[in-house]
């Protein structure tokens, strides 16, 4: 079998600098001409426990995590025991010479202590592993220096020295591993994780305000905005609670700043009241929900796709909404942009569903062409509207009313959470009520016309059609290609927008396939249920994963084999 | 010159004799006195009879959810620091449902003027106890009398070193106008707790009851003396001090955002060159 990709798994305790070497390694691999895919798993603790930073790399695009480890970089002895079952045939481990090596594992035993001098075991591992993987020392050093940032010069220098001696040791004592040849990358590629891509997409779309309450895994979106807040003139506020966060965003948006609220299921539960405030007051707001396993606090640092139904139904009363579910880094960027645009255009709440896996998954992408990207600028020119005649909620055929901003002209802007008149004032006129309900619901027609259709890949008349949404995209694609190679004609239908659903975009595909399987990171098959409710189509088979780990091609194949 | 007609005259849904009427009148007079035009002002409110007040006055309005006026007002002020933002709500909305936001807004010291119509009872839901109801206050919902100790908004605000803390009474028109004007002029969060009779559900704290007790604070009190203000904030009973209890010059929250120093963010396009530069960081 051709040698397509290689999986390096770095394992150790929280606090051992796993993230630093992981990120540096990722960049060094991309700079060496590889495509990468990173999966991180960790426990809900600041120090200790067992964390994993797995980088799968190859010359061509790497779509998904894999369960087989080619090089196990152990930062502690426990890692060797925890992952010994996952070693690929011919796989190697990298360990300290002092540690016990479990039976059946072939390990390079490096003198961590003598090479590190002062406790940079992570840098030693990076140096030794980098040489094993045939990465050039300057590339490794450059990437590490960039990740360590503009911190203490002495620290960077010390790391550089450790890296160098470890690299030299590896060259002198070890045999390089067989790795895929790097590809020739025409454009230098950038390395982003899902939530960095969401944050940058939001910035590029014109988001100027973000309020949040820290919660894993969504905090990283806010941190990306904080990181660039000065350069891009963005206000980011850590609110007293989630309720405040979304209400602040609604206030900022009402007064003219496109706003983003990142949270997770538990935080979103607190925000639900304000989702319907955004809807009735017709105030744009983008809410990102980084899914993690529930109910309640669930598994705080693991992954799941179980909040689709919650987000779909969150908020009292009836109102239109759009729900995006990006499946790749590019989609994280572009669909966040689209979410911001739709929120502004249709003046209401728009959702983005990511999850822990996608949030932390680094991949290489082509740099985005910034020049061609539009940004939103809320508020219209009052034009010919007479001063006293402005009606914030004027009843229109599209349901979208002209939006002026308070304090920008002499027009008065009145918004209300109650049912209201066209001018925004509280009313109990029950003949007006249906007109206002219908006006708001008419926005649904516009939203439906702008739905991103599900992507279809593979043969047009598949024997098997794998259907999924959000972060499982890569696993679905890889599973389909493995099945096809094994002689089972398989295609993939992936939803990166899960609401509204437009039958015409996918129903024929479902009916044409000999058999269909809905693959989801939840126990009850929420997308399958939604499609059945909306179209009557019932999936004959489902694959569900809800153990807190991301969907992998191997998992899909194993489950299919069982059915 | 701005005149009071510009602020309109609306039919309300309040009970005849409600303390909301004189508060609304004082608010209009205060704004006219400051020569502010309706479009320069944003009224933000929550839910309750007091929170309906912005519907009965000309201005920009965001009438949001119960207890959530302060975060909405905070977001709006940051979006457009040029707006004069007046937050109007009752005691239940501000001190009960919105308690956490009340504490956080004071700590932020954002430049808002917070008018709390404090009638010590829930009016809109027909007479249950509120956070400021006195112990022993009997209602249909609390037939054995209120057990919890009352929330003291003035003491809490002074304890947290709010920018400006004042108390007034709906029955003292001129005093109230002056307090509102000083609150609006103050750069930072201004709390004006306004004692307000509820003619329908609070038969204890009536106009007469307050008239007998409310006593303007004399010039001998220095509102910048925190310890004296703290002591004064605890005074309640046969004599209730009204006036400015505490004031300081903490910088307003919006001043701490470097990005707001040059100009408001409103209407600014994305700086694409800066964004390109940022993307290079990820290479």
Write out pLDDT tens, residues A527-552: 999 999 999 999 999 999 999 999 99
Q: What percent of chain A has pLDDT over 70?
A: 99
**Residue of chain A nearest B71, judged by CA positions:** A248
In angstroms, the CA A126 to CA A142 distance is: 13
Q: Mind giving me the DSSP string for chain B?
A: ---GGGG------SPTT-THHHHHHHHHHHHHHTT--GGGEEEEE-SSTGGGGGGGSSSEEEE--TT-HHHHHHHHHHH-TTSEEEEEEEHIIIIIITHHHHHHHHHHT-S-EEEEEE-SB-TTTTS-B-TTPPTT---SS-TT---SPPP-HHHHHHHTT-SEEEEEETT-HHHHHHHHHHHHHSSS-EEEEEE---TTT-SSS-HHHHHHHEEEPPTT--TT-HHHHHHHHT--SS-EEEEEEEE--PPPGGGG-GGGSSS-STTPPP-HHHHHHHHHTT-
Residue of A36, A225, A244 to mutate when probing chain B, most B C-beta within 10 A:
A244
In angstroms, the CA A314 to CA B15 distance is: 36
B131 contacts chain A (CB < 8 A): no
Contact residues on chain B for A370, CB-CB shorter than 8 A:
272, 275-276, 279
Contact B80 A407 (CB under 8 A): yes
Contact B283 A409 (CB under 8 A): no
Residue A359's nearest CA partner among A415, A305, A416 is A305
When pLDDT is averaged across residues A6-32 and rounded to a whole number, the result is 94
Residue A373's nearest CA partner among B37, B188, B276 is B276
Contact residues on chain A for B63, CB-CB shorter than 8 A:
415-418, 426
The residues pairing with B45 across neighbouring beta strands, listed in sequence order, are B63, B88
Can you give the pLDDT at residue A46? 84
**Residue of chain A nearest B100, judged by CA positions:** A240
B252 contacts chain A (CB < 8 A): no
Cα A221–A224–A229 angle (5° rounding)? 125
When pLDDT is averaged across residues A278-289 and rounded to a whole number, the result is 98
Closest Cβ opposite residue A249 in set B58, B60, B75: B75
Q: Mind giving me the DSSP string for A100-163?
A: ---TT--EEEE-HHHHHSSS-HHHHHHHHHHHHTT--HHHHHHHHHHHHTTS-HHHHHHHHHHH
Quote the minimal CA–CA distance from B149 to chain A in Å.
25
Q: How confident is the model at residue A1 (pLDDT cuts 50, 70, 90)?
A: very low
In angstroms, the CA A227 to CA B281 distance is: 11
Closest Cβ opposite residue A240 in set B72, B104, B271: B104
CB atoms near residue A88 (< 10 Å) = 15
Torsion of CA A127, A129, A130, A133, to 10 degrees: 160
Can you give the pLDDT at residue B49? 94
- A2 pLDDT exceeds 80? no
Q: Which helix (H) or strand (E) holds A48?
A: strand A48-58
**ipTM greater than 0.90, yes or no?**
yes
Residue linked to tokens 């051992």? A16
- A284 pLDDT exceeds 70? yes
For the sheet containing A69-74, what is the strand order?
Answer: A107-110, A87-96, A69-74, A5-14, A48-58, A35-41, A362-365, A190-193
Q: How far are the Cα atoms of A72, A160, A179, A182, B209 from residue A32, in angstroms, in the given order? A: 20, 19, 12, 7, 82
The residues pairing with A466 across neighbouring beta strands, listed in sequence order, are A492, A517
Higher pLDDT, B73 or A49: B73
Contact A405 B101 (CB under 8 A): no
Contact residues on chain B for A242, CB-CB shorter than 8 A:
none
Contact residues on chain B for A393, CB-CB shorter than 8 A:
none
Q: Which helix (H) or strand (E) holds A169?
A: helix A153-173
Q: How confident is the model at residue A44 (pLDDT cuts 50, 70, 90)?
A: confident
Residue B253's nearest CA partner among A240, A404, A203 is A240
Quote the minimal CA–CA distance from A364 to chain B in Å.
9
Write out pLDDT tens, residues A401-445: 999 999 999 999 999 999 999 999 999 999 999 999 999 999 999
**Residue of chain A nearest B267, judged by CA positions:** A377
Closest Cβ opposite residue B60 in set A232, A412, A418: A412
- A118 pLDDT exceeds 80? no
Q: Are strands A322-324 and A285-291 parallel, antiparallel or unpaired?
A: unpaired
Q: What percent of chain A has pLDDT over 90?
A: 91
Q: What is the pTM of this model?
A: 0.97
* Spans of chain B, pLDDT less than 50: none
CB atoms near residue B237 (< 10 Å) = 6
B261 contacts chain A (CB < 8 A): no
In angstroms, the CA A89 to CA A69 distance is: 9
B256 contacts chain A (CB < 8 A): no
Q: How many CB pairs under 8 A join A and B?
A: 205
Can you give the pLDDT at residue B124? 87
Contact residues on chain B for A254, CB-CB shorter than 8 A:
62, 72, 75-76, 79
Contact B39 A244 (CB under 8 A): no
Write out pLDDT tens, residues A485-512: 999 999 999 999 999 999 999 999 999 9
């Amino acid at each position: 079998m051709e040698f397509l990709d290689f999986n390096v798994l770095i394992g150790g305790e929280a606090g051992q600098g796993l993230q630093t070497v992981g990120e540096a390694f990722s960049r060094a691999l991309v700079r060496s001409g590889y495509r990468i895919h990173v999966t991180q798993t960790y426990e809900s603790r600041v120090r200790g426990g067992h964390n994993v930073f797995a980088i799968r790399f190859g010359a061509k695009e790497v779509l998904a995590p894999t369960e087989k480890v080619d090089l196990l970089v152990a930062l502690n002895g426990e890692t060797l025991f925890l992952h010994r079952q996952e070693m690929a045939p011919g796989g190697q481990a990298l360990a300290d010479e002092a540690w016990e090596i479990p039976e059946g594992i072939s390990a390079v035993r490096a003198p961590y202590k003598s090479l590190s001098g002062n406790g940079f075991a992570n840098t030693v591992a990076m140096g030794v592993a980098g040489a094993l993987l045939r990465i050039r020392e300057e590339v490794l050093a450059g990437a590490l220096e960039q990740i360590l940032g503009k911190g203490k010069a002495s620290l960077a220098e010390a790391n550089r020295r450790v890296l160098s001696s470890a690299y030299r040791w590896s060259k002198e004592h070890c045999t390089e591993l067989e790795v895929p040849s790097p590809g020739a990358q025409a454009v230098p590629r950038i390395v982003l994780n899902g939530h960095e891509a969401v944050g940058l997409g939001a910035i590029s779309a014109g988001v100027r305000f973000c309020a949040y309450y820290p919660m894993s895994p969504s905090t990283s979106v806010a941190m990306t905005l904080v990181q660039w807040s000065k350069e891009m003139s963005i206000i980011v506020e850590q609110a007293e609670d989630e309720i405040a966060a979304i209400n602040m965003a609604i206030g900022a948006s009402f007064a003219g700043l496109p706003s983003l609220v990142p949270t997770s299921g538990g935080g979103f539960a607190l925000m639900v009241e304000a989702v319907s405030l955004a809807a009735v007051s017709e105030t744009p707001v983008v809410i990102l929900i980084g899914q993690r396993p529930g109910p309640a606090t669930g598994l705080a640092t693991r992954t799941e796709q179980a909040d689709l139904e919650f987000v779909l139904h969150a908020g009292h009363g009836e109102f239109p909404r759009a729900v995006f579910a990006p499946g790749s880094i590019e989609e994280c960027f572009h669909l966040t942009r689209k979410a911001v645009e739709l929120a502004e255009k249709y003046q209401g709440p728009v959702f983005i569903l990511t999850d822990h896996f996608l949030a932390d998954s680094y991949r290489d992408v082509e740099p985005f062409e910034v020049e061609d990207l539009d940004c939103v600028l809320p508020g219209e020119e009052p034009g010919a509207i007479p001063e006293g005649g402005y009606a914030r909620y004027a009843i229109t055929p599209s349901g979208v009313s002209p939006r002026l901003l308070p304090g920008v002209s002499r027009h008065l802007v009145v918004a209300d959470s109650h049912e209201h008149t066209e001018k925004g004032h509280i009313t109990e006129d029950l003949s007006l009520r249906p007109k206002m309900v219908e006006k708001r619901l008419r926005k649904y027609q516009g939203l439906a016309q702008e739905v991103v259709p599900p992507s279809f890949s593979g043969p047009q008349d598949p024997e098997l059609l794998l259907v999924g949404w959000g972060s499982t995209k890569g696993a679905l694609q890889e599973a389909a290609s493995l099945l096809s190679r094994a002689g089972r004609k398989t295609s993939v239908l992936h939803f990166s927008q899960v609401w509204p659903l437009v039958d015409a975009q996918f129903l024929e595909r479902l009916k044409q396939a000999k058999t269909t399987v809905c693959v989801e990171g939840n126990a009850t098959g929420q997308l399958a249920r939604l499609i059945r409710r909306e179209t009557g189509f019932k999936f004959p088979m489902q694959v569900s994963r809800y153990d807190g780990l991301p969907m992998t091609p191997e998992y899909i194949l194993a489950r299919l084999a069982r059915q | 010159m701005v005149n009071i007609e510009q602020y309109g005259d609306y039919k309300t849904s309040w009970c005849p004799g409600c303390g909301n009427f004189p508060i609304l009148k004082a608010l209009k007079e205060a704004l006219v006195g400051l020569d502010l035009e309706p479009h320069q002002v944003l009224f933000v409110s929550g839910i309750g009879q007091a929170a309906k007040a912005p519907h009965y006055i000309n201005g920009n309005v965001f009438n949001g959810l119960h207890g959530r006026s302060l975060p909405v007002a905070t977001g709006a002020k940051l979006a457009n620091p040029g707006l004069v933002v007046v937050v109007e709500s009752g005691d239940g909305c501000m001190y009960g449902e919105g308690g956490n936001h009340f504490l956080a807004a004071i700590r932020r010291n954002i430049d808002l003027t917070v008018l709390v119509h404090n009638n010590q009872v829930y009016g809109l839901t027909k007479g249950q106890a509120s956070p400021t109801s006195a112990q022993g206050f009997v209602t249909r919902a609390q037939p054995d009398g209120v057990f919890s100790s009352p929330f003291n908004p003035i003491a809490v605000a002074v304890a947290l070193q709010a920018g400006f803390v004042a108390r007034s009474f709906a029955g003292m028109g001129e005093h109230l106008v002056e307090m509102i004007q000083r609150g609006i002029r103050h750069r930072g969060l201004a709390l004006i707790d306004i004692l307000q009779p509820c003619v329908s559900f609070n038969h204890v704290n009536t106009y007469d009851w307050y008239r007998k007790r409310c006593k303007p604070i004399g010039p001998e009190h220095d509102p910048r003396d925190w310890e004296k203000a703290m002591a004064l904030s605890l005074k309640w009973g046969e004599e209730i001090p009204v006036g400015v209890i505490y004031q300081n010059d903490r910088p307003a929250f919006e001043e701490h955002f470097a990005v707001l120093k040059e100009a408001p963010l409103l209407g600014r396009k994305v700086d694409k060159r800066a964004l390109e530069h940022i993307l290079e960081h990820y290479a």
